[in-house]
Amino acid sequence: MCYFGNRDELSSKELKVIKNLGLKFRGKNEWIYFRSFETGYVPYILDQAQVVQLILVFKQLYMALKCFV
């Protein structure tokens, strides 16, 4: 799930990832973050396999949308 929220909604681990990537967000509802939902577990940040899969999906989505322009 992709969210646009506030800084105080992110965990310290998520803030560290954003800082390490050199990203900067300012303002209310400007912070983008992703959460993984699995049955029986609390929503949490994505693991490496989920990130790789999401990157592939976004690349394919971009190419599909580009065909419509």
pTM of the entire predicted model:
0.69
Distance CA 25, CA 60 (A): 26
pLDDT tens profile 21-52: 899 898 888 998 899 998 999 988 998 999 99
| One-letter-per-residue 3-state SS of the chain | CEEEECHHHCCHHHHHHHHHHCCCCCCCCCEEEECECCCCCCCECCCHHHHHHHHHHHHHHHHHHHHCC
